Structure 1
Amino acid sequence: MPKPIEDYFIDLVSLDSESHDERGMADRLTADLKAMGALVTEDDAAASTGGNAGNIFARFPGIADKAPILLCAHIDTVKPGCGIKARKTGTRIESDGTTILGADDKSGVAQIIHGIRKAQGAGIPLAPIEVLFTVCEEIGLLGAKAFDKSVIRSALGYAFDSRDLNSLTIAAPSQNSIRIDIFGKEAHAGVEPEKGINAIRIAAEAISIMPMGRIDFETTCNIGVINGGISGNIVPNHVHIKGEARSHNARKLQQVCDDMRRAVELTVEKHEHDSYKAKADISIRTEYTKFNIADDHPVIANAINAMLRIGLKADLRKGGGGSDANIINAAGIPMIICGTGMTGYHTVEEHIEIADLEKGVELVAALIGCYSQS
């Protein structure tokens, strides 16, 4: 007899699985999926991610002439995620306050496992089911990027990696990462500062004229990391800057990245001493590309039917973050994002209501059931 969803979830979060260290989760889920009747494989993603486990991919057989449905969640967590001590407190599950809980995304993992079990017990013929549990999602969607998407046979899919059970994320932006190295000229700050070129000052000036924050309703950009200097009495000759830009519009994303680049170039050009000129190396890289699923697409219609069947609202929304769904959509498999009920994720205040865990199980089973009968 399987454990109740809340106890199974607590079992999963007790397994350490910070990004790069998902071995325990991978082994547990492989065993659980096999016990449920799935054919399970683990890929070699660890070779490219630098972790100790690969992505887990499982297939459940079903109606012969029906394309599979894909269910996806990630098995890694952010830090601090080791030694999690989950506890039931009234109607919710939370950590002891020294770590995250790991509901992001082990609530989704647990709901997929229990939801498939519920669907299997419903007494109706089921479509084939594919399950993808990815590694290293939290550090750049590395597992999904490394996974061979050509093995997926599903017609549509659902990622369980959002908060609100009543919403469906049907669009998400592209993201570009921005890396900037500014090179000035070192000098003694007290004896001959005029002979130096202060890289920190250049960085500050450049950042001050960059677009920043929310640019418009579908575009954002940010500078999140700046490192430079070694001592207060030395004019710093190097600064490293990390930032990002996101947009649901490819043209706007390109424009904001161009504006950030030009801000650095214009500022650097103004700083020189004698024959030495400040320099900058700027790298802009696409991390993932946007998706936007049409409202009348079958992946949305199936989800709405399933959610209404179990008393959820099915609000359609555009997201601001990236997830495995960006990578799967880019491979040509339509995927939207469902909520799990996780709250306060990426903080030590993270928690989840037991009722939401249970509702997520109903949602997974309903998605499978509605799709199988369509």
Structure 2
Amino acid sequence: MKNDVVSYFLELVSIDSESGNERAIVDKLKKDLEELGAIVEEDDCASKIEGNAGNLYAYFPGTINKKPILLCAHCDTVVPGKDIQPIMENGRIFTDGTTILGGDDKSGIAEILMAIKQIKEKGIEHPPIEVLITVSEEIGLLGARNFDISKLQAGFGYALDTHQVGEVVIGAPSQISFQINFYGKEAHAGVEPEKGLNAIRLAAEAIALMPNGRIDFETTCNLGIIKGGTATNIVPGLVTVEGEVRSHNKGKLQKVCEEIEQAVISTVHKFNANGAKASFHFELKKEYEAFLIDRNAPVVTLAEKALQNLHLSVDIKVGGGGSDANIFNANGLPMIIVGTGMNNVHTTEEDILVDELYRGTAFIEELIHLYAEE
């Protein structure tokens, strides 16, 4: 294992690990965690999610008799994440623009493991530490969903999975995904188009009636995928639309979903009133539940104090995205999300500052130190 967080981060991002294909990075991290003195287990998550690697749970016995502190990060990346070639110039790490960097979330992994390495090398007394590295977070929090949470002994935890070091996310929204199939009727577009029913037109009119974008300060809706049609000379008979709704408010979440469904129903009714035989299938799937942790909860105040001790700015906020923290909070384990320094994630313009990697490592080390003292 490398001795510096920057060189370690560069090593990690150079290992391919798009969601569902984390085998190489999981093998690497298992070896590194064991080298640091952890008892490491890989679960059977892979068989449940059609991936090639499971979640890694690592337990570091402590020298102080307390409940463990839990540190969590995910090892998968979004696409394009193959053959990443990191470039470091003027204190900044980025790529050539053909791939993402993978700081989401390998910056979190690097900071966790390097902080533990430094604590052990300095001979600092510490409580037990639990490290959880999840898989397939980017495609629906699948690793966290399929992890046996009863293994965890910690009273609270931290997911290293947001932007600047100093960000402390104490809440996140619920998310519901939806899929709508619009059914029309195929026909030859040049010979007898009047015998067909254009599913693209059907979907387009329904979409025009749907809520979209920023609904209010705590609610969003996005139509992200539309698929349909087979050839320009065929009236399309099927179109599929996929999207999501997020909100911190359960009632608003339900209301937006109902408005989407009503837009579909009214459009299909309008077409059929004119003699068509349109139909649809509407499916909702709850992805995760919202959470909001009290500003004065120990998991929050400990992070705040660690940042203050390092003279780093503290930005306590409620976020708009989901993470593994949603799953653990829903199962009764308080977990907040803290920053690692990553910028422009999920894009080929992603980067991270070298100084942020050092600050993130120092923050985790201070967090463990403070928890040991309390």
The TM tier, using the shorter chain, reads over 0.9
Which residue of the partner structure matches residue 36 of structure 2? Answer: 36
CA distance in 1 between partners of 2:97 and 2:280 (Å): 43
Deviation at 1:15, TM superposition (A): 1.1
CA distance in 1 between partners of 2:228 and 2:364 (Å): 48
Which residue of the partner structure matches residue 125 of structure 1? Answer: 125
1:168 aligned partner, one-letter code = V
Contact in 2 for aligned 1:197/1:271 (Cα 8 Å): no
Deviation at 1:184, TM superposition (A): 1.0
CA distance in 2 between partners of 1:269 and 1:253 (Å): 25
Deviation at 1:216, TM superposition (A): 0.4
Give the gaps of 5 or more residues in structure 1: none
Contact in 1 for aligned 2:64/2:126 (Cα 8 Å): no
- Deviation string 1:320-351 (CA, Å, 9 cap, x unpaired) is 11111111111111111111111122222211
- Deviation string 1:298-340 (CA, Å, 9 cap, x unpaired) is 1001100111011112211111111111111111111111111
Which residue of the partner structure matches residue 197 of structure 2? Answer: 197
Further displaced range: 59-68 or 351-360: 59-68
CA distance in 2 between partners of 1:311 and 1:64 (Å): 27
Further displaced range: 254-263 or 226-235: 226-235
2:236 aligned partner, one-letter code = P
Contact in 2 for aligned 1:26/1:53 (Cα 8 Å): yes
Q: Secondary structure at the match of 1:271?
A: helix
Further displaced range: 291-300 or 89-98: 89-98
CA distance in 1 between partners of 2:51 and 2:196 (Å): 43
- How does the TM-score come out when normalised to structure 2? 0.96
Contact in 2 for aligned 1:196/1:273 (Cα 8 Å): no
Q: Secondary structure at the match of 1:270?
A: helix
Q: Secondary structure at the match of 1:283?
A: strand
CA distance in 1 between partners of 2:226 and 2:97 (Å): 30
Distance change >3 Å, CA 273–CA 235, structure 1 → 2: farther
CA distance in 2 between partners of 1:346 and 1:249 (Å): 26
Which residue of the partner structure matches residue 174 of structure 1? Answer: 174
- Deviation string 1:203-250 (CA, Å, 9 cap, x unpaired) is 111111111111100000011111111122222111111011000011
CA distance in 2 between partners of 1:312 and 1:108 (Å): 17
1:232 aligned partner, one-letter code = T
Further displaced range: 217-226 or 189-198: 189-198
CA distance in 2 between partners of 1:274 and 1:144 (Å): 49
Deviation at 1:282, TM superposition (A): 0.3
Which residue of the partner structure matches residue 59 of structure 1? Answer: 59
The question of 1:242 aligning with 2:242 is answered: yes
CA distance in 2 between partners of 1:256 and 1:199 (Å): 23
Count matched residues.
Answer: 374
Deviation at 1:269, TM superposition (A): 1.1
Which residue of the partner structure matches residue 221 of structure 2? Answer: 221
Contact in 2 for aligned 1:187/1:234 (Cα 8 Å): yes
CA distance in 1 between partners of 2:275 and 2:346 (Å): 49
Q: Secondary structure at the match of 2:342?
A: coil
Which residue of the partner structure matches residue 69 of structure 1? Answer: 69
CA distance in 1 between partners of 2:329 and 2:91 (Å): 36
Q: How does 1:34-183 map to 2 (within 5 A)?
A: 34-63=34-63, 65-183=65-183
Which residue of the partner structure matches residue 339 of structure 1? Answer: 339
Give the gaps of 5 or more residues in structure 2: none
Further displaced range: 53-62 or 113-122: 113-122
Which residue of the partner structure matches residue 292 of structure 1? Answer: 292
CA distance in 2 between partners of 1:371 and 1:90 (Å): 35
- Deviation string 1:19-60 (CA, Å, 9 cap, x unpaired) is 111111111111111111111000011101211110000011
Contact in 2 for aligned 1:219/1:247 (Cα 8 Å): yes
CA distance in 2 between partners of 1:272 and 1:197 (Å): 10
- How does the TM-score come out when normalised to structure 1? 0.96
2:217 aligned partner, one-letter code = F
Identity %: 52
Contact in 2 for aligned 1:197/1:273 (Cα 8 Å): no
2:80 aligned partner, one-letter code = P
CA distance in 1 between partners of 2:124 and 2:99 (Å): 42
CA distance in 2 between partners of 1:371 and 1:241 (Å): 48
Deviation at 1:83, TM superposition (A): 1.3
